[in-house]
Structures are given as structure tokens and as C-alpha cells.
Structure 1
Amino acid sequence: MSDDAESTAAGDADDGPEYDVDFRERPEEYEVGRGEEGAFKVEPYKGELLPLWGYADREAADEGGEAIYDRFLEYRADDDLVGMDMARKYLQMGYTRAMRYARYPGGQKYDDGEERDPVRWADHDKREAALVYEAWWKRVEADDRYAEARAEHRERHG
């Protein structure tokens, strides 16, 4: 896992309660949401995907994006909506985290509680990483089986 993933995971681990649920065994307990919520809390997927995720540069994003997409395909083959959605979250998070570092020096969006003006481009390596993750993320979003499974899960479980 990259330093970026470690520090991000450590920072997010304190935000809100941990789930005491194995979501592979109890997929009905999973709530399909928007964005990246739960990416550091939904097990066993966090343990499977977080080690693959890194966005330090294009090389890390190429490796991470492909590995996470491969996991997405495995989850898809198993009709595992929670796994598919979690893979989508990690790909989306690769994009958003890398883009934050690309636009804000040191990834610091706020200074003394005030939002800083973004820079175009503060970190070109992170921008390249963001674009790689964006391509994988959009591929998942366009997957018909994923969209159908997500809609069915929402209908059944909310």
C-alpha cells in the first residue's frame, strides 16, 4: 500500500463507526450510496481492495486501477454487487484523491479552515494518476450488469 493510501486510510478510519458485519455474508445489510462512503469500513472488501490502491503517480495508478478492475470483474462473475460497488468506490476514490493532490499543493484543500484556490496543475504526476483512475471508474460505471445489479439491490434493500 502506498504512503498516500496509508495516511488516507488512517485519517478516514476515525470518521464514524466501524461496521461489525461481513458484507459478503450479509449483502442485504449493504446500502448502495453515492460517492466513496464506507470505502475504509466495508469488510471483507476493504481488506481486498485497499492493498491494491495507490495514486502516487501514473505507474501506481496503472497497477492499482488494473488490479481493482480485475477484482471488479471477479465480483461481477460472482454476482457480488457489494464487491462491484466497492471496487467502483476505490476507482472513484483514486480519481478524487489524486485530483485533490494535483490541484492543491500537498493535497491541502483548506488552510486554517478556509478553502484554498486550486492550482492548475500543482502536481502533474497526481494528475496523470487521476486520469488513469477516471478511465477505469468510467468503465465500471458504464457496465450494464453492474448498473442492473445496483438498481435491483436498491429496489430490494433500499
Structure 2
Amino acid sequence: MGDLPEDDDGEYDHDFRADPEPYRIGRGEEGVFKVQPYKSELLPLWGYADPETAAEAAEAIYERFLRYRRDDEFVGMDMARKYLRMGYTRAMRYAHYPGGRKYDSDGNERERVHWADAEKRKAALIFDHVRRRLEDDEAYQRRKREWRERRG
């Protein structure tokens, strides 16, 4: 995906719903802020301020995943997975580092605290639970295998 042109906002200048072929699954959360129109559909649903917000966000993203699955939009399915993963990783950062700041002002990694924020840990676990449910989905697994077989 790195060879796709980007617009002024750093998003890919490409509609992945109209033409999903250039999409690459990638690692981790790659593309969550670039792959349109999925970014515009999923980002407003996403939040991790507390367990209640995380539960609402995770379920809304999962419902969107089900819609993408119904419409056979693998890119949307995979982007939903990435947003759930991002909810987990961001909330865990706050769970381990007071204020969510992993690095100090000199750029050195701060000492990790075991559950600096217990509420953020709960939020993270909610996202992780829903992400696992998505990843265990047979249709998602089948489409992911097919996608990789066709695209390497």
C-alpha cells in the first residue's frame, strides 16, 4: 500500500471500497488512519475512555464488521479488526503508563507500571475479547486466506 499516492491529509488517495485490490493486510494497525472509506466509517465509532465507552465502541465496530461480512467487503472486515486491535493497544498503554505517556521528555521509555489505570485495562480487555470473536469468525478466516493467496 505504501506505493499508493497520499492526499494532503496523509490518507491514501484511493477508494478501497470501489477498488479493494491494492489493499494489503499488513502488520498491526497499519492503515487505520488512511484506508478510506473505512476510516471515515470506523473512527467515529472508536473510543476507549472507560469500560463503558470501550464496550459501546467495540460492539459498534463489531456490528460494522458483520455488515462488511454480509456485503463481502474483506477490506472493511480487516479494518474493523484493526480498529479493535488499536482500541486494545491504546487502552493498554494507559493501563501501563500513567497518563498514557510511554516516553519521557528526553525520548526515553518510562518504567512500565503494572496497572497504572485499572479502568483502561478493563477497556483494553473488552476490545481484545471482541477482536478475538472477529478473528475466530469462519467467514473472516476464509476471506483472509483467499486474500493472501491472491495477493501474496
Could you say whether these structures have the same fold, taking a TM-score greater than 0.5 normalized by the shorter chain as the test?
yes
Q: Which amino acid aligns with 2:144?
A: R
Matches within 5 A, 1:5-154: 17-111=10-104, 112-154=106-148
Deviation of residue 93 (structure 1)?
0.4
1:23-67 per-position Cα deviation (integer Å, ceiling 9, x unaligned)? 001111111112101101100000000000000000100100000
Deviation of residue 157 (structure 1)?
2.3
Deviation of residue 143 (structure 1)?
1.1
Q: Which segments of structure 1 move beyond 3 Å, counting only runs of 4 or more?
A: none
1:90-143 per-position Cα deviation (integer Å, ceiling 9, x unaligned)? 000000000001100111111111111111111111111001001001111111
Paired positions, count: 143
Deviation of residue 151 (structure 1)?
1.4
Q: Which amino acid aligns with 2:140?
A: Y
Q: Which amino acid aligns with 1:69?
A: Y
Q: Which amino acid aligns with 1:75?
A: Y
Gaps of at least 5 residues in structure 2 are 1-8
* Identity across the alignment (%): 66
Query: Is the contact between residue 16 and residue 35 of structure 2 (CA under 8 Å) also seen in structure 1?
Result: yes
Q: Which amino acid aligns with 2:61?
A: I
In 2, the alpha carbon distance for the partners of 1:147 and 1:27 equals 18
Does the residue aligned with 2:21 lie in a helix, a strand or coil?
helix
Q: Which amino acid aligns with 1:114?
A: N
Please tell me the root mean square deviation across aligned C-alpha atoms, in Å: 1.2
Does the residue aligned with 1:27 lie in a helix, a strand or coil?
coil
- The corresponding residue for 2:149 is 155
Deviation of residue 18 (structure 1)?
2.3
